[in-house]
Amino acid sequence: MNISAIEQNILKEINDSVSTIDNTKIYELIDLIKNSSQIFCVGAGRSKIMLSSFCMRLNHLGMKSFISGGIPCPPAGPGDLIIAASGSGCTPTVLDIMKKGKEAGAKICLYTAGNNEIAKEMCNCVIEINAPTSLFNHNLESSSHQLMRTLFEQTVFILNESIIAFLSEGMDIIQIGKRHTNLE
């Protein structure tokens, strides 16, 4: 297979994954974002990277958004939202933060490809993604030809970018740009 064929295959996989998402859940997340005082993003590894870019864009839109455990990171409480991503739905650090946030009164939305009912019970919104959940059983759970949970991470990124595009409709691009860092 050549690189162009691989690129086309990856784009098809992402499109297939995104097309299986229940859009009512995306609108639920959008409503939660709009009605939250503060937004906390939590993930591990590459999922955290995907949520870090989302967190940055939420700040560009004028929302108070933080990476859980980052500096700065204020306390969470009622009126706040935690957006978590865990491909397996079992990432211990992510589940611990979700539990602490729930105890503090925050609402929770989880992106997952896994079937952890305990994690899902903690959530106000669960966005299920059709992608491999295993790090090692490559190609056994789905038709993805990509390594590990790559398709999950790509789908989270695309969904988040779509949410940002939706939320930014009608906003003044100059004001959004003024919230971008000038120290780079």
Section 37-46 average pLDDT: 93
- Sequence ranges of the domains in the chain: 20-168
- Cβ–Cβ under 8 Å, residues 157 and 50: yes
Section 1-10 average pLDDT: 83
Q: Which fold does the domain 20-168 belong to in CATH? A: Rossmann fold (3.40.50)
Q: Dump pLDDT digits (tens) for 130-164.
A: 876 665 555 444 566 666 667 889 999 999 999 99
Section 88-115 average pLDDT: 92
Please report the pLDDT score of residue 136 as a whole number.
52
In which order are the strands placed within the sheet that holds 39-42?
65-67, 39-42, 81-86, 107-112, 125-128
Please report the pLDDT score of residue 133 as a whole number.
63
Global pTM?
0.88
- Continuous H helices in the chain: 3-19, 23-34, 45-60, 92-104, 117-121, 150-168, 173-178
